[in-house]
Amino acid sequence: MANETVFKRYKGNPIITAKAVPRANSIHNSAIVPFEKGYAGVFRVDEIDLSFTLHVGRSRDGIRWEIDPDVIRMENEDPYLTIKHRTYDPRVTKIDDIYYVTWCLDSPQGPVIGLALTKDFRTFRQMENLTLPANRNCVIFPRKIGGKYAMLSRPSDRGHTPFGDMFYSTSPDIVHWGNHRFVFGTVPSSWQSTKIGPGPVPIETEEGWLLIYHGVWTSCNGYLYYVGGALLDLERPWNVLYRTRDYLMAPTEPYERVGDVPNVVFASSALVENGVLRLYYGCADTCISMAEAKVGDVIDFIKTHSY
């Protein structure tokens, strides 16, 4: 199966642009989940002063969205946690009746991973940051593994991170994290030779955890972002069963190639309904698009186009 036949882009792409929020310069790299009779999400909005903010959005069909023009206001018990810096690239994981929201928070010491809990996408209770600086990408697994919360993250640096490997960590209480284990890293002379990082919430399948991730190649004209896939052991997710040699998606469309940051497809949300995986991804750090594929086809591709 050729890689261009795995994911089919939605013909109405992009589905979300800066027009959705009055002060937006761009909207991209956002987190979407099923909620009540439709969908809800936490959206990255880069505003016209180039501050990066998080906003709630709601939709009946997952395609047409209403995004709150006001920034999410986090409730916390410690003034130290009050957000004073840019927030971006959220992920949302549901465990039982709680939605765990993670995001990257710029701090003077470097990027860290923030955490908040919500049940209704109206009230958000901010918790302690999950990581030390510097860490730029994080996603929490949708169930406990070995009786502990689990996450994937990518340590980084204070800059734009011209490197990056993925690590697995666990926590007994969602606050204290340890048991950090290397999962996988870059591959020389490939589309994932500069850095890699976790994308949407891992999807549990009989074949293992289906992980959609991003890989970056540095060309003579800058960074190019691709979408790859892997299967991880269900009970030992640091054990990689398969990992794509060929990418699943590349920036090929005009809305993926032209924007604030050219040549970017950045997968950040994946929903499975009736065996179909709907992938939401940021395009050129400017807008959000959607593509779909059968879960079985994605798994087959990963297994047959693996290292």
Contact by Cβ (8 Å): 290, 13: yes
- pLDDT at residue number 160: 82
- Asked if the structure places residue 89 within a domain, the reply is yes
Domain assignment of residue 149, yes or no: yes
Dihedral of alpha carbons 291, 293, 295, 297, sign: negative
- Residue 9 resides in a domain: no
The torsion angles phi and psi of 49, rounded to 5 degrees, stand at -100, 10
Domain extent at residue 162? 15-304
The whole model's pTM is what?
Answer: 0.96
Question: What CATH number did the domain enclosing 230 receive?
Answer: 2.115.10.20
Total number of domains constituting the chain: 1
Give the contacts of 10 (CB within 8 A, at least 6 positions apart): 63, 289, 290, 291, 292
- Cα dist from 96 to 99, 138, 169, whole Å: 8, 20, 20
**Does residue 215 lie in a domain region?**
yes
Please spell the DSSP secondary structure of 82-143, one letter per residue: ---S-EEEEEEEEETTEEEEEEEE--TT--EEEEEEESSSS-EEE---SS-SSEEEEEE-SS
Low-confidence residues of the chain: pLDDT under 70: 1-4
> Is the bond leading into 134 cis (omega within 30 degrees of zero)?
yes
Residue 1 confidence (pLDDT): 41
Contact by Cβ (8 Å): 257, 241:
no
What local confidence, expressed as pLDDT, does residue 84 receive?
A: 84
Instruction: For residue 7, tell me if it sits in a domain.
Output: no
Q: Which residues of 106-127 are buried (b: 16+ CB within 10 A; e: fewer)?
A: bbeebbbbbbbbbeebeebebb
Instruction: Give the Cα separation of 167 and 240 in Å (integer).
Output: 12
Point out which residues pair with 53 in neighbouring strands.
45
Q: Is residue 219 part of a domain?
A: yes
Q: What is the pLDDT of residue 77?
A: 83
10 within some domain? no
130, 119, 136, 131: which is closest to 52 by C-alpha? Answer: 136
Q: What pLDDT is attached to residue 252?
A: 97
Q: How far apart are CA 292 and CA 276, in angstroms?
A: 7
Residue 4 lies in a domain: no
Return phi, psi of residue 92, to 5°: -130, 125
